[in-house]
Structure formats: structure tokens, C-alpha cells
Structure 1
Amino acid sequence: MELRQVEHFLAVTDHLSFTRAAETVGLSQSALSSSIRSLERELGGELFSRSTRRVALTVAGEALLPVARQLVNQARRAKEAVVAVSELTGGRLAVGTVQTLSSVDLPALLAGFRRAHPGVQITLVEAPTARLLDQVRAGDLHLAYLARDATPLPPDVLVVEERVEELVLITAPGHRLATAGRVVLADLHAEPFVDFQAGMGLQTVVRELCAREGLARVISCRVSQMDQLLALVGHGLGVAIVPEPVALRGGLPIARLGDPAPTRTIALVTRPPVNPAARAFLAELARTR
């Protein structure tokens, strides 16, 4: 079994179309089909069920899929290790982040890294914390900024640094709490909230905070983008609890929440061994502190 055959299998899996997969890998459809048939003969079973209308993985194909992804990731890491010998004249850096990251100027960091290492391909992924963590563990991301909650990180994930952000309440202008300056969560029982969709990093932290304080929130809207949340709060559809840097960026009235103030933790994580491009990025990060 050759690595290129595994890559061809993954291309068909990703697109569920031999035509689109062939375009992706730069082969004719007949050549791609021949490669897949050769792989099936070698493995002793059909990997795809084919019809004139659709392509789908067989049970054997489903079994091969995680192993195939692991093989391709291992091959990628081997290539990156070789690239390190030539002082990062090539290679890849994949960084993930939650969308509410504000304590780090990630675009500026990546721009500085690109100036120092113009040959490295940079990929930036924005996703919920759980998905980013899975991608770090799978080797698809080299580094990721996560919103930590009470859940322990897996033992194969290394925390590089942590940053603590104060959580504050934001309201619409003219809201009864817009000039309060400081409130306690008990004052918010009757307030509708704008919140993130369940499972996103900030939503999990805020949910745990309210549970500890015995606040049963009424959620008026759930959103998936911070700009949407800020706009809905600004139009009076509810209040929200967000990191202070995000609140300052939104320009809405801010009230502090208790003493001591509640916080959330942003963690930069990786999965050893750290690839050369990621090590260079971490060095760039250290110089900016």
C-alpha cells in the first residue's frame, strides 16, 4: 500500500465524488479509479459503494478511514521534520483559535512569523474549543487557543501558556443596568440573555459561572458569532456576559460582576512533539511578551 493511494482514498472520502476528488489530486478520473481499485485489491475488500447517483463508504472503508488519516498525518510530520533541516524554508504552521480571542493579537503574531519565515504555509482555523482540541490531538493543528473550563485537558495535550480575562456584563444603551457600574448575578434573574450556542468555549464558561451562583438564565437568543451577539445586545434583545476585551471592542455599556471578578482562562495548547514551524511561532510569541 502506497501513501499516494491512501491520499487518493481520503480525497474520495472527503468529496464522495470521484470526479471532484480527481480534480483535487490532479489526476484523471480513470487514473484515480484505477488507484482505488488497486488499493481495494491489496486490502482485500471494497472501500466504496458506487452507483450512478452516489458514492459512499463501505463498512471496510469506514474502518480504514481513521488509520488512513493517521498515516497521512504521520507522513506530513515526517516531511516537516526534514524541512526543519533547511531552516524553515518550507513546511506548514496550522493554528486554531476560538473566535472570542482578544487578549492576543494573533493576526499581528502571524504577520511577524510570515515576515521571518515567508516559505512556511500558514493555516488559521476558527472553531469551538472541543473541535480545536480534537484537531490538536489528531495532528491537524499544531497550536490552538482554547477557552478553558473545568474539564481537565487530555494527558497528551501540553499547555504552553495561559491568559486570564475578566468577565463583565454588557447591556444596551439605556438599559436599567447600563450605568450600574457593578452588579451581582442575583440581580439578573429577570433579565433575558443573548448567549452562544451550546458547547462553545465561552458559553460553557458562562454556564458554569451562573450555575455556581444559582442563576437560572432566560436565553432570548443563541448565536454563533460574536458580532451577532454584540449587535443583538446593542438592540436590546438581552444582556450578555463576555470577556472584558471583547466588551471594550463592542463599545456597549459595561458592568462589573462581583468581587472578586469572575474570569475565564485562554490556554495555548499543543501536542508534543512540537513541529519546527510551531517552535518558531512560539519563539515569536515569547519575543512579544
Structure 2
Amino acid sequence: MNLRQLEYFLTVAAEGSFSRAAGVLHMTQPPLSQSVLQLEKQLGVQLLVRHAQGVSPTEAGRLLMEQGEHLLQWSRRLEERLSAMGQGLAGSLHIASVPTFGWSHLPPLLQAFADTAPGVEVELSDPVPSEVLAQVADGSADVGFVATSDTGLLAAAHPGLAIELVAEMPLLAVLPPSLPDLPDPLDLSALAGQTWLLPLPAPGFPGLVEIAEAVWRETGTRPGSVRYVSTLQTAVPLIAADMGLSLMPRSVADVAGPRVQVRRPVQQVPPLHAAMVWSRHMPPSPVLERFLAVTRETYTGKL
């Protein structure tokens, strides 16, 4: 039994006549009659009683009328669902994003995507940058966001990933409570000899360490020591506890609030670049294609 046969039978049973059903279906009566006869033959049961006034359903026909309508409704819903998935309007999307991008930039982006594709189920994770790249590369995440000092070097180190710049994140000096009297803006040479808190460097991932080293070269200074942390977010409570200082986007520094000191650098400190990454080896799903388009539209003209 196929869905067309079922639709033909339900129409005949509802109209009580092959001729009236043929008119509703915009077809001639002979192929309609043949289709119902073939259906009865396939099922091995009589579905309609033919009489002078038209047709009436048998007990088996009444059961098929009741259940068949549900089946057609389910089929239509399935067709609509599959069509929506083909247009990127339904399905699922796993996003892996470093918190540096996720806290301030991801919420408006997710809202814009939800407005255009409300049927898509979004799953979020916030691993460290190297793990974001690994998840995208192995397909466990559809798309990722990282913060890097150099998108060109990042792309060269990871040729299997498509990498696209979406936003720049200017950096501020975030200082412990023990340094309340430093001016704003701040000459970063005043931080010579201090303990710096920086994310642990990862092979093939240029990040804040490279920016800090550029600052030290420009100012002709060196830190007293460098302490490595897993993420910039990990550094925030350490800075608040007078255990060091760092450079970070305001969105990260704002987490600590008044517990830390924030200063604008006098020097032209290179920003972190928020980059969107996805696999070159796996064709993007319609959902991912739609998300990439929404991201580009959201950040157009904001670099």
C-alpha cells in the first residue's frame, strides 16, 4: 500500500462515490477504480461495498479510514519536516565556542539565528581553543568560534579547517586591586616586573601569548614572571586575588566587576580576532549553511 493508493481510497470512502471522488481528485473514474481494486487485492480484504447509490466502507474499510487519515497527516508532517531540514530551518547545530567569544558575541548571534530558523535545536559547548578546533575537525561540532592573534597563521596551521574572521576584540589591561593608582590610559611599560597571567600556549594556535610578547618588545620590558592558565576566564579570579595581571577583552574583565582594575593601554595593542571555523572536508549541512550566512550578515561592517 502506498500513500497515493491510501489517499484515493480515503477520498472515495469520504465521497461515497467513485465518480464524485474522481472529480475531487481531478482524474477520470477508471484509474481510480483500478487503484482501489488493486489496494484491496494487495491487502487481501474488501474495503468497499459497491451498490446502486455508490459505495460504503466495510468493517476493514472503516478501520482503514480511521487509521489511514492519521497516516496521511503523519506523512504530511514528515514531508514538511524534511523540507524544512533541506532549507536549514529544522535539525540540530552543535556550536563549540571559547567563552571569550561566547559571553558577549554569541547571544545576539544565536538570537538572530533563532529568528530565521526557530526549528533548529542548538547545542553549545565551551571547550579550550585547541579542543574547539579538534571538535570541528572530527565532526563532533558543526562550527566553532575561537579568539586568535593571527587568523592567517591559524589557517596555515590547520589547512583542513575553513577559518573566517567575524569580529575584533580590543584588549584592555586588567590589573589586581593592589594597583589602584595607575593612570587611565596606561603606559604598559609601568607593568615591568609584574606577574602576567596568560592562557597556556597551544601548538599551531597563535593567541594572547604572542600579543603579550609583542607588547614586551615594544615597551622594552619583561614581566617578573609568567603564570599560565587554561583560559582567560581562569585568570579573572586570580587577578582579583592579587596574583597577577593580564590583557583581555572587556567582556571578560567585566565578569570580575569592581574586584579588578581596568585600564586602556597607551600603546596600540593588537586585538584578538574572533574567528569562525568549520570543516573543509565535510560538506556543510543546510542548517550550517544557514548559520554561516546569518553570522556573516550579523557581523557585516563590524570589523
Q: Which segments of 5 or more consecutive residues in structure 1 lack a partner in the other structure?
A: 1-81
- Give the alignment partner of residue 243 of structure 1, picking from 243, 249, 252: 249
Q: Is the 8 A contact 2:199 2:230 kept in 1?
A: yes
Shift of 1:170: 0.9
Q: Does 2:185 match 1:181?
A: yes
Task: Give the number of aligned pairs.
Answer: 206
Alpha carbons of structure 1 residues 167 and 85: separation in structure 2 relative to 1, 3 Å: closer
Alignment match, 1:171: 175
Alignment match, 1:224: 230
Alignment match, 1:56: none
Alignment match, 1:134: 134
Q: Is the 8 A contact 1:160 1:268 kept in 2?
A: yes
Segment drifting more, 167-176 vs 279-288: 279-288
Shift of 1:103: 8.0
Segment drifting more, 236-245 vs 255-264: 255-264
Cα distance in 2, alignment partners of residues 126 and 201 from structure 1: 20
Shift of 1:258: 3.7
Q: Does 2:296 match 1:283?
A: no
Alpha carbons of structure 1 residues 149 and 287: separation in structure 2 relative to 1, 3 Å: closer
Shift of 1:168: 1.7
Cα distance in 1, alignment partners of residues 297 and 276 from structure 2: 16
Cα distance in 2, alignment partners of residues 85 and 102 from structure 1: 26
Cα distance in 2, alignment partners of residues 139 and 83 from structure 1: 24
Cα distance in 1, alignment partners of residues 176 and 230 from structure 2: 19
Alpha carbons of structure 1 residues 187 and 231: separation in structure 2 relative to 1, 3 Å: same
Alpha carbons of structure 1 residues 85 and 162: separation in structure 2 relative to 1, 3 Å: closer
Cα distance in 1, alignment partners of residues 108 and 180 from structure 2: 38
Alpha carbons of structure 1 residues 206 and 115: separation in structure 2 relative to 1, 3 Å: closer
Cα distance in 2, alignment partners of residues 193 and 102 from structure 1: 24
Cα distance in 1, alignment partners of residues 173 and 185 from structure 2: 10
SS in 2 for 1:134: helix
Alpha carbons of structure 1 residues 118 and 165: separation in structure 2 relative to 1, 3 Å: closer
Alignment match, 1:195: 198
Shift of 1:83: 6.6
SS in 2 for 1:238: coil
- The amino acid across from 1:169 in the alignment is A
Aligned 1:68-107 pairs, distance under 5 A: 86-88=86-88, 90-101=90-101, 104-107=104-107
Could you list the per-position Cα deviations for residues 217-244 of structure 1 after superposition, in whole angstroms to 9, with x for gaps in the alignment?
A: 3446543354442222122111111123
Larger radius of gyration, structure 1 or 2? 2
- Give the alignment partner of residue 273 of structure 2, picking from 265, 280, 287: 265
Aligned 1:202-217 pairs, distance under 5 A: 205-212=207-214, 213-214=216-217, 215-217=221-223
Alpha carbons of structure 1 residues 201 and 98: separation in structure 2 relative to 1, 3 Å: farther
Shift of 1:256: 2.6
Q: Is the 8 A contact 1:89 1:119 kept in 2?
A: yes
Alignment match, 1:65: none
Alpha carbons of structure 1 residues 210 and 220: separation in structure 2 relative to 1, 3 Å: closer
- The amino acid across from 1:170 in the alignment is V
Cα distance in 2, alignment partners of residues 91 and 280 from structure 1: 12
Shift of 1:175: 0.7
TM-score of the aligned structures, taking structure 1 as reference length: 0.59
- The amino acid across from 2:133 in the alignment is L
Q: Is the 8 A contact 2:93 2:122 kept in 1?
A: yes
Give the % identical residues. 21
Could you list the per-position Cα deviations for residues 53-92 of structure 1 after superposition, in whole angstroms to 9, with x for gaps in the alignment?
A: xxxxxxxxxxxxxxxxxxxxxxxxxxxxx77655446422
- The amino acid across from 1:105 in the alignment is H
Q: Is the 8 A contact 2:88 2:117 kept in 1?
A: yes
- The amino acid across from 2:211 in the alignment is L
Cα distance in 1, alignment partners of residues 181 and 174 from structure 2: 9
